[in-house]
Each structure stands twice: as C-alpha cells, then as structure tokens.
C-alpha cells in the first residue's frame, strides 16, 4: 500500500464545507435503527462545538425509499425535496445537511438534474406552488452529516477523552470504514475523497488515533439496498453480500466498523447474528461479533459520553469488548435502563453469537 498515492487522490476530491449555519434533516429509518446517532450529532455540533444547526419538525421523508423501490416517479421525489428546500429557505438557511446517505444522494441527483435540465426545475417549482404554495432557493452548499463530523474531526480530537487506541496493547485500533453507496458512487466529486478511496470516515479514524484497514472487498455493498432486503425473497441475496464482506475482512481482525449510512450499520450488525445462527460463524474475538458503529456514535465515545446514553444497547453485536479496549467504563446493569432509568427489559440472547 502506498499511502501517499491515496493522499494524492484525496487531495483531488475535497469539497467545500462551510463551518457553520446548517439546516439539518433527519433520516426516516435511523431513528428506529440507532436512535442515539442523530441526537448525538446535534448534541456534538450544537452543545460541544457551539455551531448553529437548525431543524424543523415540519420536514418529511425525502421519498428515497419509495423512489428506489420504483413506487413513486421522480417528479414526486423532486417535489418532496423542493418542499424541504422551501423549509430551509423559510428558516433563513442556505446550507443543507442530510443525516441519511440515500437522502444526500437524492438531493445531489435532483440538484444535478436541475442544473442540466433547468426546465425540470421550473416545472417542479410550479408543482410545489400548486401543492402547498411554497417557494424555495436551492441550497448554496449540500453536505452529508458525516461531512460535518469530518470537518470538525480535529476539533473533536482536541476535546477527546478517549483515543482509538487499544489500551491493553497500546496499538491503534484496527477499523474498517464503510461508506454508503449513495454518498459518492453516483457523484464521486460530491464526496470527500471520491468513490474509490473515500476519505470522509478515514479522516475521522486517523484524527482520533485509529488505523484504517484496506481489505479486498471494501467497495462491496453492505447487503442492504432497498430492493434486496424489502422483498423477502431477496433476503438471501442481502445476507450473502454481507457474508462476502465479513469473509474478506476477517483476516485483518478489525476491532470495529465505522459507517455513515442508515442501512449499512444496521445490516452489518444484524446479519452477523443471522450468519452466526445459520452458518455457525462469528467474526469477533471469542465468539463475539465485530461491533458496527455510526460515526456519530464513535465521535460520542471519543468525547466521553456514556455508551448507554448514546444508544449502544440497541446494537445486536455486543459493544462491551470494544469499550474495554478503549478503556471506557460502563455499568453493565444500566445497559437496559432507559434515559429515564425505566427498565427496557432484556432481549433474548442468541444461540451462537456471543452477547453480554
């Protein structure tokens, strides 16, 4: 591996990310998958770094799932997106940041379509006006939320309580980074580091002390993909892709996986359970799995938040071995207590995949 070669490519794919004043839109599914992640994003940006991030309860889905399942036409998606832009314009913001990779891809695709076919934009403006009497300006800057954490990575590192170092060995943690497909595969220039060697998550890991693993199937899909998973007959295809990835990363013994997409962490996390129960195979140490975290969760751990306050108990793969390596103290009894200390009940333990 020639690290300088990668640096050269990274230098070619840098995008301008304003430091402050962002209009934030959430993801449909992340709230259910890993609810701590988005809350921690706002917590870090607003309260730790003191930035202005605005969000409104009036925003809706971007229509991405329906669009990619071929159940609504592109005009509908564009009009939904136009309405989100209208909310941003009304709130007085010009920079638009999406929590979801699919949304980010949709926004990027829509803006590119309008740039190339201005008559489509004109038509969408008419449709939006007819539908809800709103008008909008297109965002000056479009970012994915991971672009922002990438932007703030050094500020976060400066405030870090923990570094991504294995405290038993003193070695940097070995981290697999996995980018959502719609982050830069459609428009390489819209992602930090491009599509072949994306840097957005690498940059965070490097800034926080870890080592990134480059393994053969790093480009491969996580196994989600709307049409794969949502059709039950295709789920074997979905888990087969995840299996291929894990088989490829296994020799590197990753300590954890960092992701920036709603679907990737969820499926790489849950499918480890299915792979264990159907194939008898686990990929972590001593029968555990490899923890799969969102970048917000990793940033929160680095900043010293309580693992149970940021929702790590919602992961199928136990995070405790990772917390031990990082030297983060936690109360095993508090794992299944809600923020209000209410008992959340304990999940049933799997047969093969070891969980705490």
Binding site for another protein (CB under 8 A): 1-2, 5-6, 8-9, 194-197, 214-219, 232-233, 235-237, 239-240, 243-244, 251-252, 274-275, 277-280, 351
Question: Which C-beta is closer to another protein: that of 118 or that of 216?
Answer: 216
Distance, CA of 18 to CA of 141 (rounded, Å):
8
Residue with the two structure tokens 């013994």: 253
Residue with the two structure tokens 């509908």: 76
Shortest CB 29 distance to another protein, Å: 21
Distance, CA of 48 to CA of 43 (rounded, Å):
7
Question: Which C-beta is closer to another protein: that of 49 or that of 276?
Answer: 276
- Cβ neighbours of 51 (radius 10 Å): 18
| Nearest CA among 28, 115, 33, 131 for reference residue 80 | 131
Question: Which C-beta is closer to another protein: that of 198 or that of 291?
Answer: 198
Shortest CB 241 distance to another protein, Å: 10
Question: Which C-beta is closer to another protein: that of 160 or that of 352?
Answer: 352
* CA 171 from centre of chain: 26
Question: Which C-beta is closer to another protein: that of 3 or that of 50?
Answer: 3
Q: Are 192 and 198 in contact (CB under 8 A)?
A: yes
Shortest CB 200 distance to another protein, Å: 16
Shortest CB 193 distance to another protein, Å: 11
Report DSSP state, residue 172: B
- Cβ neighbours of 17 (radius 10 Å): 18
Shortest CB 117 distance to another protein, Å: 22
């Amino acid at each position: 591996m020639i690290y300088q070669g990668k640096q050269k490519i990274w230098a070619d794919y840098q995008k301008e990310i304003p430091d402050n004043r962002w209009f934030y839109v959430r993801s449909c599914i992340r709230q259910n998958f890993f609810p701590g992640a988005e809350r921690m994003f706002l917590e870090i940006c607003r309260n730790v770094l003191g930035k202005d991030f605005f969000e409104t309860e009036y925003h809706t889905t971007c229509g991405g799932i329906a669009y990619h399942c071929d159940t609504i036409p592109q005009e509908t998606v564009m009009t939904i997106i136009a309405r989100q832009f209208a909310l941003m314009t009304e709130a007085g913001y010009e920079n638009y940041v999406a929590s979801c990779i699919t949304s980010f891809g949709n926004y990027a695709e829509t803006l590119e379509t309008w740039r190339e076919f201005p008559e489509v934009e004109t038509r969408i403006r008419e449709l939006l006006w007819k539908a809800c009497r709103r008008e909008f300006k297109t965002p000056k800057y479009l970012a994915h939320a991971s672009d922002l954490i990438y932007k703030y990575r050094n500020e976060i590192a400066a405030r870090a309580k923990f570094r991504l170092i294995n405290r038993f060995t003193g070695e940097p943690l070995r981290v697999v980074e996995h980018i959502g497909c719609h982050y830069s595969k459609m428009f390489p220039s819209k992602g930090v580091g491009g599509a072949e060697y994306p840097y957005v998550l690498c940059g965070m890991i490097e800034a926080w002390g870890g080592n990134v693993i480059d393994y053969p199937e790093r480009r491969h899909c996580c196994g989600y993909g709307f049409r794969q998973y949502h059709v039950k007959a295709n789920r074997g295809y979905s888990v087969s892709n995840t299996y291929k990835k894990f088989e490829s990363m296994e020799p590197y013994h990753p300590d954890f996986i960092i992701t920036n997409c709603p679907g990737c962490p969820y499926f790489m996390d849950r499918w480890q359970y299915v792979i264990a129960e159907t194939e008898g195979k686990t990929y972590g140490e001593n029968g555990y799995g490899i923890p799969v975290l969102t970048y917000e969760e990793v940033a929160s751990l680095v900043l010293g938040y309580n693992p149970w306050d940021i929702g790590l108990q919602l992961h199928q793969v136990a995070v405790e071995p990772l917390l031990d390596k990082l030297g983060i103290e936690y109360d095993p009894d508090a794992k299944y207590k809600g923020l209000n200390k209410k008992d959340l009940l304990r999940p049933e333990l799997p047969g093969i995949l070891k969980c705490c």
